[in-house]
Amino acid sequence: HPLWYIRAAMYLVGILHTRHHVTFSACDLILRVFKFVFENAPSDSFRGASTMPKTLITVLSALDMTDKFVVHPICYNCHRMFDPNLGSDGFCSACEIPLFDTVASVPVANSLPLGDTAVRPVPAAKPIRVSPLQLPSHGLIEFFKRPGMFQAMNAWKTRLVVPGEMRCMQDGEVWKSIKGPDGESFFHGPSAEKEIRVGVTLSLDWCFRFGRKTSNYGPSHSSGV
């Protein structure tokens, strides 16, 4: 954004959300308060405040901080994954059940003369359940495009290790003992000195308990596996 004070507000909510987990609704509120203050300031210092974004989604898009996921439709019964370009009439090849919610067109009364009716446009069919996917190989390409990432990923080799203290994943037994295809220590073997070896942690953002989804992301993002 060309106005410095609007950029400052955008950076603020971006950091609050990504680093401190402030919710979307709270960030939207912050943006709207800033916009109100800027528009009603007594001086002309904040002229142009009407162009300020009002939602965190707009801010993340403007700052190119959006997720780079490919969203795949999946079967809600067997969790088989399908091509993201699958047509809205797609069925699960194993369960033979539809993958998309479909809403038929219905005539609706309107103000046309002689009591004619018009057909309401059919809304775009949405998958009943989806799974966002990004291959680690693609994510690493974007990751290492950032300045300083190569040095940061090798910093663990020279940091001070305190015996008996678990400060990071490199202090764990798996990191020390896991072997590569050549039988050598994956992270500490001779070949590891010539390459960047990356440890990847996995986490789940959902869970099932007593047959009910207990995460806000469950209905729309999780496979339910």
Tell me the pLDDT tens digit for each residue of 121-170: 666 788 889 888 888 888 888 888 889 998 988 888 888 888 888 888 88
Residue 12 has pLDDT above 90, yes or no: yes
The band of 204, judged by pLDDT with boundaries at 50, 70 and 90, is low
Own/partner long-range contacts of 65-68 (Cβ < 8 Å, ≥24 apart): 65/14, 65/18, 67/132, 67/134, 68/134, 68/138, 68/139, 68/142
Residues 75 and 108 in one domain: yes
Average pLDDT score over residue span 74-100: 89
pLDDT of 14 reads 93
pLDDT of 164 reads 84
Residues 162 and 195 in one domain: yes
The band of 29, judged by pLDDT with boundaries at 50, 70 and 90, is very high
Tell which wins on pLDDT, 12 or 213.
12
Q: Which domain holds residue 116?
A: 71-134
Tokens of 104: 């038929």
Burial class (CB in 10 A: 0-12, 13-18, 19+), 194: exposed
Mean pLDDT across the chain, nearest whole number? 80
Task: Provide the number of structural domains found in the chain.
Answer: 3
The band of 222, judged by pLDDT with boundaries at 50, 70 and 90, is very low
pLDDT of 169 reads 86
Residues 216 and 159 in one domain: yes
Domain boundary among 16, 31, 62: 62
Total-model pTM: 0.50
Residues 175 and 192 in one domain: yes
Residues 147 and 190 in one domain: yes
Domain boundary among 134, 153, 188: 134
202 phi and psi angles, rounded to 5 deg: -115, 145
Residues 75 and 50 in one domain: no
Burial class (CB in 10 A: 0-12, 13-18, 19+), 48: middle
Rounded (10°) angle between helices 24-39 and 4-20: 160
Domain boundary among 91, 113, 134: 134
Residues 167 and 128 in one domain: no
Give the separation between CA 185 and CA 182, rounded to whole angstroms: 9
The band of 25, judged by pLDDT with boundaries at 50, 70 and 90, is very high
pLDDT of 206 reads 56
Residues 43 and 78 in one domain: no
Of the chain, the percentage scoring pLDDT greater than 70 comes to 80
Burial class (CB in 10 A: 0-12, 13-18, 19+), 76: middle
Give the separation between CA 144 and CA 140, rounded to whole angstroms: 6
Average pLDDT score over residue span 190-206: 78
pLDDT of 225 reads 40
Of the chain, the percentage scoring pLDDT greater than 90 comes to 20
194 SS3 class = helix
Residues 106 and 166 in one domain: no
Residues 83 and 50 in one domain: no
